[in-house]
Structure 1
Amino acid sequence: MNKKKTIEDLLNDPKMSDRLKERLYSKKGLLGKESPFSEILQQMVNTMLEGEIESFLLEERASGHVNKRNGRTPKRVVSDAGFLDISTPRDRNGDFEPELVGKRERELSSGLDDQILALYAQGNSVEDVRRLLEEIYGVSISAGRISQITDKVLPEIQEWRTRSLQSFYPIVYLDAIHFKVRQEGKYISSAFYTVYSVDWEGNRDVLGLYINSGGEGAKKWGLVMEDLKSRGVADILVVCTDDLQGFSEQIQEVFPASVVQKCIVHQMRNSLKYVDEADKKALIKDLRQVYTSTTEEGAKTALSAFEATWGKKYKYIVRQWRDNWTELMAFLDFPVGMRKMIYTTNPVEALHRIMRKLIKSKAAWASETALLKQLYLSISRNEKSWKKNARGWTSIQREIMELYPDRVPQKN
């Protein structure tokens, strides 16, 4: 009978040494598909399991219990070095519980689930994740198993989406990003609603993520407002939005004291839609005088001057600004340091750019659940890029307290 090789035998084997050298010089590294290191690791695991049961049986005898070995159970487990074929020792009484790889475990503390979630969060499809695991680690895992692992995040998402919120937020940004999602055999556009905030301490956070099939709509945003209220939000000082029709009414139906600030950037885009190329540079310069004014009186004067110059040719621009004047110029009633933060929805659009960048390789999703999982993982694993404190917030706090003393949180 041939003696079973020990770890020392493997390491001292000239053939193994040659294979390890070849692997290293190939620049493939020790881990991965067909790596000789997996054989060493496999032997090490089996040796450690043998050591565990020997220690267990010694303790059993010291305690006066009668117990002996009772063979081994073969099992294949996943590790960073690939699949390992191990033999878990058994005891006659069935009391032995191995620590290194438990009886029902199929993974050698490789953190493989976390690696799968990390790859998925980077925008890789389930099939991409499966292929990358095969190429990098030599591990073959079915698409179904990968989906099961990513599904583990769903309870976490549900808890996050229903968590209690603060009662007062100085600034909340509302905006939507659109994706293609498969439904009933065809791909349709789904609006992904993002609620991004700055709280009383100046901390930025995403309060909620909502998906609605069939595009964006004011009434659907009204349901989002109701959800925020049900989770504890009692008051929002400023709500920053784009120019979606009916949006303001939906917001103020739920939060009547909130000031709605329409995005100046969106308004500029709408104003420039039908402007001749030859006029754009001068027209933009004149229109900029409106929203860079320090007072509402100055802004009105600038708009009148704009009308005198451009009103005959571009009546629709003047009409747009006058029709939306109150909500476009709302930022002028707030502290100077706060104005740049609220006259545009750029902060939430910056968050959306991060999301798009992380999932740029995907054209469409198999389901809304798949989309939600991927977006949640993307933003939760990249918080450093968007969860930053607002600059100069202490001085803004003081001014808000002076302007709205009855609305700010009172410390006990």
Structure 2
Amino acid sequence: MKKKQTIEELLSDPKMSDRLKERLYSKKGLLGKDSPFSEILQQMVNTMLEGEIEGFLEEERASGSENKRNGRTRKRVVSDAGFLDIATPRDRQGDFDPELIGKRERSLSSGLDGQILSLYAQGNSVEDVRRLLEDIYGVSISAGRISQITDKVLPEIQEWRTRSLQSFYPIVYLDAIHFKVRQEGRYTNSAFYTVYSVDWEGNRDVLGLYINSGGEGAKKWGMVMEDLKSRGVTDILVVCTDDLQGFSDQIQEAFPGSIVQKCIVHQVRNSLKYVDETDRKAVTKDLRQVYASVTEEGARTALSAFEATWGKKYRYIVKQWEENWTELMAFLDFPLSMRKMIYTTNPVEALHRIMRKLIKSKAAWASETALLKQLYLSISRNEKSWKRKAYGWTSIQREIMELYPDRAPQKN
């Protein structure tokens, strides 16, 4: 049998030197399939394991034990450099457990799990992740093993979804995004409900992730409101929403003191839905006069002017604005600095844009659990883009304290 080379002998071997040079000039990357660097790492790991058991047995002998070596256990482990064939030394008493790669471990602690989660968070399917790992690292991992690794995030998700919340939030945005999920052998639309907030200190956060099959509905949003209450929320000053029918009733039932602000941007889109192309620019300009008014009185005057110009042809637009007037114009009761934050649900839609990147690479998901894992990983790894503190928040705090002294937490 050919004697296995030591790490020193391996590095000084001319053949290995030639292979290393060839690998470097090939531009194939240092690690991965058929890389001599992988062989070097394998030998180094085995050498380190030998060093670990020698140190362990020295301590055993110092304490009076007669414990000795008892052969080796061979196994194949996964690493960033590819598969490594490891020979783990054993002791007679079975007490030796290597620090580098434990008895029951099947991977070298090299960040490979993190790479899998990162690739999965980018919207890649399990099969895509498996293929990319083989292409990049020369590592072949089964789809089942990749699913097990991504499942490790489920306890973290559960803890995050059930965490205690603050009692008061000045602003909460509610919106849904839709995905196709496999249900009982067929793909159906599932609504992903997002609760995005600004707390009393001006910090933005996602308070919850909720998935409901069958699309969006006001009653299902009511269940979301109840969950927020069960986790400690007692008061929300402003709730920003789209124009889902029955939504306001569900909000008021859960948080009677909340002010509902319907999204102006959504309303304008709805208004323009049936406008002739030749009129769109002029209609848009006149509608802007309504919601850009500084006071509610000015907004009403602008709506009357709009009706005088367009009421005969586009009566439905005037009716829409009149029926939703109170909740569309609620933002005018707040200082200018806060109006910009609440007149639209754009902040939560910016968060959804991160999620929509997943749609570009996947048409559907095998289960709601798979969707939840991928969305959670996506937003948690992109916090810098959506978790920024609200701009100029200190002045907004003062204004809220003046307008609602009984609701705003007082600074000590």
TM class by smaller structure: over 0.9
Match of residue 144 from structure 2: 144
Distance in 2 between the 1:163 and 1:7 partners? Answer: 50
Residues 124 and 359 in structure 1, CA contact (< 8 A), matched pair in contact too = no
Match of residue 32 from structure 1: 32
Amino acid at match of 1:158: Q
In the alignment, structure 1 residue 276 sits paired with structure 2 residue 276? yes
Match of residue 347 from structure 1: 347
Distance in 2 between the 1:411 and 1:230 partners? Answer: 26
* Greater alpha carbon shift after TM alignment, 266-275 vs 50-59: 50-59
Match of residue 122 from structure 1: 122
**1:24-48 deviation line (CA, Å, top 9, x unaligned):** 1111111111111111111111111
* Greater alpha carbon shift after TM alignment, 332-341 vs 65-74: 65-74
Distance in 1 between the 2:114 and 2:370 partners? Answer: 17
In the alignment, structure 1 residue 7 sits paired with structure 2 residue 7? yes
Pairwise CA distance, 1:358:
4.4
Distance in 2 between the 1:2 and 1:329 partners? Answer: 84
Match of residue 156 from structure 2: 156
Q: Secondary structure at the match of 1:409?
A: coil
In the alignment, structure 1 residue 308 sits paired with structure 2 residue 333? no
Match of residue 165 from structure 1: 165
* Greater alpha carbon shift after TM alignment, 367-376 vs 105-114: 105-114
What number of residue pairs does the alignment pair up? 412
Distance in 2 between the 1:377 and 1:112 partners? Answer: 16
In the alignment, structure 1 residue 254 sits paired with structure 2 residue 251? no
Distance in 1 between the 2:16 and 2:9 partners? Answer: 10
Amino acid at match of 2:264: I
Pairwise CA distance, 1:344:
0.4
For the structure 1 residues 359 and 280, does the alpha-carbon distance in structure 2 shift closer, same or farther, using more than 3 Å as the test?
A: closer
Residues 78 and 110 in structure 1, CA contact (< 8 A), matched pair in contact too = no
Match of residue 236 from structure 1: 236
What residue ranges of structure 2 are gaps of 5+ in the alignment? Answer: none
Match of residue 198 from structure 2: 198
Distance in 1 between the 2:350 and 2:2 partners? Answer: 66
Distance in 2 between the 1:254 and 1:357 partners? Answer: 33
* Greater alpha carbon shift after TM alignment, 144-153 vs 353-362: 353-362
Match of residue 323 from structure 1: 323
Q: Secondary structure at the match of 1:278?
A: coil
Pairwise CA distance, 1:360:
2.4
Distance in 2 between the 1:2 and 1:388 partners? Answer: 61
Pairwise CA distance, 1:264:
0.4
Q: TM-score, normalised by structure 2?
A: 0.98
* Greater alpha carbon shift after TM alignment, 195-204 vs 62-71: 62-71
Amino acid at match of 1:31: L
Amino acid at match of 1:272: L
Q: Secondary structure at the match of 1:341?
A: helix
**1:330-361 deviation line (CA, Å, top 9, x unaligned):** 00001110001101000000100111124520
Q: Secondary structure at the match of 1:326?
A: helix
Amino acid at match of 1:138: G
* Greater alpha carbon shift after TM alignment, 108-117 vs 217-226: 108-117
Distance in 2 between the 1:127 and 1:170 partners? Answer: 43
Amino acid at match of 2:382: N
Pairwise CA distance, 1:3:
3.4
Distance in 1 between the 2:4 and 2:121 partners? Answer: 44
Match of residue 388 from structure 1: 388
Match of residue 356 from structure 1: 356
Pairwise CA distance, 1:97:
1.9
Amino-acid identity (%):
89
Q: TM-score, normalised by structure 1?
A: 0.98
Distance in 2 between the 1:143 and 1:160 partners? Answer: 26
Amino acid at match of 2:241: T
**1:268-323 deviation line (CA, Å, top 9, x unaligned):** 00100111111111111111000000000000000001111111111000110001
Pairwise CA distance, 1:62:
2.0
Distance in 2 between the 1:248 and 1:400 partners? Answer: 22
Q: Secondary structure at the match of 1:189?
A: strand
Match of residue 96 from structure 2: 96
Residues 177 and 191 in structure 1, CA contact (< 8 A), matched pair in contact too = yes
Amino acid at match of 1:221: W
Amino acid at match of 1:135: D
Pairwise CA distance, 1:411:
4.3
Residues 122 and 359 in structure 1, CA contact (< 8 A), matched pair in contact too = no
Q: Secondary structure at the match of 2:104?
A: coil
Pairwise CA distance, 1:114:
1.3
In the alignment, structure 1 residue 105 sits paired with structure 2 residue 112? no
Pairwise CA distance, 1:410:
3.2
Match of residue 267 from structure 2: 267
Distance in 1 between the 2:30 and 2:204 partners? Answer: 43
Match of residue 211 from structure 1: 211
Amino acid at match of 1:195: V
